[in-house]
Amino acid sequence: MDFNVKKLASDAGVFFTRAVQFTEEKLGQAEKTELDPHLENLIVRADSTKNWTEKILRQTEVLLQPNPSARIEEFIYDKLDKKLPSRTTNAELLGQYMLEAADEFGPGTPYGSTLVTVGEYQKRLGGAEREFLQTSAVTFLTPLRNFLEGDWRTISKEKRLLENRRLDLDICKARLKKAKQAEAKAAAAPDFQETRPRNYVLSASASAVRAEHELRVAQVEFDRQAEVTRLLLEGISSTHLNHLRCLQDYAEAQATYYAQCHHYMQDLQRELTRCANAVGAPHSSAAVCPSPVSSAFLPGQSPPGGTVSFLSSQKSSTLAMEHTKLPVTGTRKAKVLYDYDAHDASELSLLADELIMVYTVPGMDPDWLIGERGNEKGKVPVTYLELLS
């Protein structure tokens, strides 16, 4: 018990001495040992790596899971070392509601069958999102979190120890300086045999010798700790390489996810267009949408068709119905709604608000018409036009 009390008192004394040295350095009243420039640069680089890794990790978590309560739940399960239960994505939940609504209104009705079609694709989008979240968590978030909770904690511990060793070194330097001054003052005093006892001079000399020994020990410990810290900080380069690979994996997973979404939405748009054409066909007012066609995404496969906004699908369907009623060889005017840049020589570039002549030909894709402007002619997308009488 006595030993523990003495150790506690000793530790408190060391802490107080370091605090005094640190304060005097900040006030410019004490000298400070500067670290090696290379070591200083490594520390700055490591601190920057830690700060930006934290910001990137937090913002990626917000991007992948905007719901704060869900992130807290994940944190709790992670700390309890338990597997997080599979959570239904918002798109999957929306798709389920649509399917249940279709059962309520009747899947054989136009509205009910459309709900079935859209609901199925929403569930596919939700499944793609869940797979993307899982892949991103494993390949990107977990390595960044492991660095902050593992390697960086070790580096921080060694950095704090290095700072303590530096403070101890500077304290020893200050003590030696005071001891030397006291020794010189005692030796230079006139008639010291009469004015001061001889033990005083010997004591001053012994204090200087003891201070020199403490300084040598503190210097050795400081140099050893500086080397350990330097080796750890140089490992930040390997951390950057690891995070680079994780970033590439994240970007690849993100690209795959967006490509899947684009592919599914194109398929959905074609289904809705087919639905609208079936409803608008003569003697088929009771026609319903066909079931969605399975379209699994293959990595590396380019999604078919052009890029058309899903928000304009309703207008596209209406224009497609008007298009099916056009005579095969008949022409009519059309007003261009948006600018369009031709992708190849078979297409015609368009400028918003201009008027062109359009017509269709047998066997042509219903999403396209032949457009003419003076001597220029080429394919134009129906969704970019407003057909005039």
The pLDDT, as a whole number, for residue 302 is 43
Average of per-residue pLDDT across 299-314:
41
pLDDT one-digit tens code per residue, 131-187: 999 999 999 999 999 999 999 999 999 999 999 999 999 999 888 888 888 878 777
Q: Do 354 and 363 form a contact (C-beta atoms < 8 A)?
A: no
Task: State the distance between the two ends of the chain, measured CA to CA, in whole angstroms.
Answer: 102
What's 347's DSSP letter? B
Instruction: Find the angle CA(222)-CA(225)-CA(227) to the nearest 5 degrees.
Output: 110
pLDDT one-digit tens code per residue, 90-137: 899 999 999 999 999 998 888 999 999 999 999 999 999 999 999 999
Domains and CATH numbers, the chain: 25-264 (1.20.1270.60), 326-389 (2.30.30.40)
The pLDDT, as a whole number, for residue 363 is 78
The pLDDT, as a whole number, for residue 199 is 60
DSSP for 144-197, written as a single string: HHHIIIIIHHHHHHHHHHHHHHHHHHHHHHHHHHHHHHHHHHHHHSTTHHHHS-
Q: Which comes out higher in pLDDT, residue 37 or 201?
A: 37
Average of per-residue pLDDT across 335-345:
89
**Whole-prediction pTM value?**
0.62
The pLDDT, as a whole number, for residue 12 is 73
CA atoms within 13 A on the CB side of 327: 4
Q: Which comes out higher in pLDDT, residue 236 or 322?
A: 236
Please state, for a pLDDT cut of 90, what percent of the chain lies above it. Answer: 44
Residue 277 has pLDDT above 90, yes or no: no
Torsion sign, CA atoms 79, 80, 82, 87? negative
Nearest to 133 by CA among 56, 193, 64: 64
The whole-angstrom distance between residue 152's C-alpha and the CA centroid of its chain comes to 19
Residue 286 has pLDDT above 60, yes or no: no
pLDDT one-digit tens code per residue, 87-96: 788 899 999 9
Q: Distance (Å, rounded) from C-alpha 122 to C-alpha 94?
A: 7
User: Which residue shows structure tokens 């909770």?
Assistant: 149
The pLDDT, as a whole number, for residue 177 is 86
Query: pLDDT averaged over the chain?
Result: 80
Residue 284 has pLDDT above 50, yes or no: no
The pLDDT, as a whole number, for residue 320 is 41
pLDDT one-digit tens code per residue, 205-253: 788 888 889 899 999 999 999 999 999 999 999 999 999 999 999 999 9
